[in-house]
Amino acid sequence: MPPVDGPTRLYGELGDPIDQVRMPGFLNAAWARAGIDAVLVPMRVAAADLASAVAGLKRLGNLDGLILTIPHKQAMLGLVDRVLPMGRRIGAINAVRREADGSWTGEMFDGLGFVAGLHGLGHDPAGRRVLQVGAGGAGAAIAHALADAGVAGLDLYDIAREKAERLAAAVAAAVPGVAARWVAEPAPEGCQLVLNATPLGMGAADALPVAVDRLAPGAVCADVVTKPIVTPFLQAAARRGHAVMPGHVMAAPQAALFARFFGRAID
């Protein structure tokens, strides 16, 4: 990696916790290969401190953008000047950039990155019935992207029932051809794609998001958690012969999307 010095353009990834993030490694390596003098730095910011932290960061003249992870994707909406279409549709953003006039623009890329990761492993979600556990910021982005990709049905479960109900209604309204619905339990029977869009798996004592002994034969299992690389859910599914997609798989395509959004494309 080239040295970070005066002309280097700065970007920050904000989250709490922050130890699990892998985007700085992906994006910094890609920028270095492309000869782009920019660096992405992980920054731990508590939810209660987000507004004050962002206000301070915006005053840095060599900071050109931010990436948002847990728990900031929805709260960041109120801290930017404009939101692009996918972010407005989802109600959450995971990247913001400084414009030439000093204003800030936000957009959401989690869903596009997830679907690109699936395709990269040879799994086309089109026509599949999906069970998704988790309806937060990342979950909302993924649900909408899966609907756009042509899934046949989308079962949504969240411990906060109202979140899953709202997301199901929003997806059904945006893509009427997709049978999106709230479900009372994360029942994977009959689903060809099962994904965890919650933080379950980041902690060693976490429960599995789905009972793997109820998975349909041939179901593909995916996770958004990036640390550990292979979560207990994916380990259990793989032991039963299921194809799996770890969370880090969506990082490479999402890095390309971030870089293009920031005006420092790597592809």
Instruction: Count the domains in the chain.
Output: 2
Residue whose entry in the numeric block shows the structure tokens 């401190």: 49
Nearest residue to 16 via CA among 59, 52, 45, 54: 45
Q: Assess whether 48 and 73 both reside in one domain.
A: yes
Q: Assess whether 128 and 96 both reside in one domain.
A: no
- Domain-embedded: residue 82: yes
pLDDT at 1: 63
The burial of 123, by beta-carbon neighbours within 10 Å (0-12 exposed, 13-18 middle, 19 or more buried), is given as middle
Tokens of 215: 């998975």
The burial of 264, by beta-carbon neighbours within 10 Å (0-12 exposed, 13-18 middle, 19 or more buried), is given as buried
Q: Per-residue pLDDT for the chain (267 aa), expressed as one digit of tens each?
A: 668 889 999 999 999 999 988 899 999 999 999 999 999 999 999 999 999 999 999 999 999 999 999 899 999 999 999 999 999 999 999 999 999 999 999 999 999 999 999 999 999 999 999 999 999 888 999 999 999 999 999 999 999 999 999 999 999 999 999 999 999 999 999 999 999 999 999 888 999 999 999 999 999 999 999 889 999 999 999 999 999 999 989 988 999 999 999 999 997
Provide the CA 1 distance to its chain's centre, in angstroms.
Answer: 26
Residue 229: phi and psi, rounded to 5, are -60, -45
pLDDT at 22: 87
Q: Assess whether 115 and 245 both reside in one domain.
A: yes
pLDDT at 183: 97
Residue 38: phi and psi, rounded to 5, are -150, 155
What pTM value is reported for the model?
0.89
Annotated catalytic residue within 58, 73, 163, 227: 73
pLDDT at 255: 93
Tokens of 193: 């794609």
Question: What span, in angstroms and rounded, lies between the C-alpha atoms of 207 and 199?
Answer: 11
Q: Assess whether 152 and 100 both reside in one domain.
A: no
CATH number assigned to the domain comprising residue 79: 3.40.50.10860
Q: What angle do CA 200, 106, 259 make, to 5 degrees?
A: 80
Residue whose entry in the numeric block shows the structure tokens 């979560």: 231
Q: Assess whether 43 and 167 both reside in one domain.
A: no
CATH number assigned to the domain comprising residue 215: 3.40.50.720
Range of the domain at 47: 9-109+251-261
- Its sign, for the CA torsion 170, 172, 176, 177, is positive
Nearest residue to 18 via CA among 238, 202, 232: 202
Does residue 73 have an active-site annotation?
Answer: yes
pLDDT at 251: 86
Type of residue numbered 161: R
Angle between helices 110-120 and 251-261 (to 10 degrees): 130
Q: Assess whether 152 and 21 both reside in one domain.
A: no
- Domain-embedded: residue 267: no
